[in-house]
Amino acid sequence: MIQPIRLFGDPVLRQKAAPVTDFDKELRRLVEDLTDTMLDAPGAGLAAPQIGVPLRVFTWYVDGQPGYLVNPDLTLSEEIQDGDEGCLSLPGLKFDCRRALSVVARGFDMHGEPVVIEGSELLARAIQHETDHLDGILFIDKLDEASRKAAMKQIRESDWFGLAKPIVKVSPHATFGLGR
């Protein structure tokens, strides 16, 4: 099911996501929702925090091939690539961003089975970008000072800036005066 994508300014995008511990029906539904939302957007990748779920899961769609990874751990090449990068949580923004040229990503599938994904160029860029999301890092954080300043100016002038409003949920459990 297609989910709303959280925009820059939403606090969930700056939080470190929790590791997945339950490889269950809900996780399979999350992977399906991420994939549907990413393809609808369309984008080259989408991390769970971008739809408001603070778990270490992301999807990608590169060269006509969809994929996903749970609880990723990356090994990056020393070789570097520069290239345009954008983000579904920062609509319309594209800047040259430096990344490792290739990556070996270890993690799990939605059933808890170990997997290894090796990629270079665009796939490596997508995997690094989405893994950064799981650590609360946005691609604009990786830009040089002048580019970051230009990106922030573009963000402030965008139609969507300021639309991200934190969603406050009321706990259904007793909080004993420690919150809502």
- What is the Cα–Cα distance from 44 to 149, expressed in whole angstroms? 25
- Residue 148 Rama label (left phi>0; alpha psi -120 to 50; beta): alpha
- What is the Cα–Cα distance from 116 to 132, expressed in whole angstroms? 18
- What is the Cα–Cα distance from 139 to 111, expressed in whole angstroms? 30
CA angle, 19 as apex, 22 and 175 as ends, to 5°?
Answer: 85
Does the annotation mark 145 as catalytic?
A: no
- What is the Cα–Cα distance from 160 to 35, expressed in whole angstroms? 23
- What is the Cα–Cα distance from 35 to 1, expressed in whole angstroms? 9
Residue 104 token pair: 């070996």
Residue of 32, 130, 145, 157 marked active site: 130
Alpha helix positions (H), 79-144: 121-134
Pair type for strands 102-108 and 114-120: antiparallel
**Residues annotated as catalytic (active site), given as ranges:** 130
